[in-house]
Structure 1
Amino acid sequence: MAKYLISFPSAAMLVPADELEAVGHAARAVIEESKAAGVYVFAGGINESVPPVLVSADGTTQESGYPWAPPLNGGFTVLELPSRDEAIAWAARIAKACRCSQELRVFQFDPQS
């Protein structure tokens, strides 16, 4: 089975403030369903109030991400599933709950990890 990343950037979630609570309940319900199905690995969101730290190969740090890359933010779910079709189905459930499109990516398997 492969692990799939289902994610969205913060800017994609255009939900009126008075609907955020309902979206949160719906999203948590899908996560609970994934746990009950035994496919849940991890879920969460980037804490955007804490700035990223870029750590170089020599160990020096600076408070930023890669200057040339788009910011990394939003919500993420990792599920372990037997097929891409099943991953698409779960991504659709998450998209419906969050009321925004989701990106689906597969992790490459590293047998030494």
Structure 2
Amino acid sequence: MTKYLVSFPAPAMDILDDDLAAVGEAAHAVIREAKDAGVYVFGGGINEDVAPLMVAADGTVKNETYPQTREFDGGFCVLELPSREAAVKWAAKIAQACRCPQELREFQYDPES
């Protein structure tokens, strides 16, 4: 089985405040469905209230990020699935629940992880 990252940036979720509760419930429902199906690994939302840190190999810490990830926010989940086709189907369910497109990425196989 292969692990897949399903994610979206926060600005992609452009919904009205009145719809927020319904979207939240729909998103929780599809995650419950993934858990019940045994394909959910973990997930969540990036806490935008806590600044990211850059930690070097020597333990030095800086209040910065890689330039290309400065805008990394939003939500994600990792699913373990038998095929890319199955991953596309789950990403579509999540996209429907969250009312925004989802980015789908495949993790490389690593027998040590």
Pairwise TM-score range, normalised by the shorter structure: over 0.9
Q: Which runs of 5+ in 2 are unaligned?
A: none
The superposition leaves residues 26-61 of structure 1 with CA deviations (integer Å, 9 ceiling, x where unpaired) of 000000000111101011000000000101122111
Matches within 5 A, 1:4-83: 4-66=4-66, 68-70=67-69, 71-83=71-83
CA distance in 1 between counterparts of 2:48 and 2:106 reads 24
Identity of aligned residues (%): 62
- Aligned structure 1 segments of 4 or more residues deviating by more than 2 angstroms: none
Amino acid at match of 1:72: F
SS of match in other structure, 1:29: helix
SS of match in other structure, 2:68: coil
Deviates more, 1:93-102 or 1:68-77: 68-77
Pairwise CA RMSD of aligned residues?
A: 0.8
CA distance in 2 between counterparts of 1:4 and 1:54 reads 25
CA distance in 2 between counterparts of 1:110 and 1:6 reads 19
Report the TM-score, using the length of structure 2 for normalisation.
0.96
How many residue pairs match? The answer is: 112
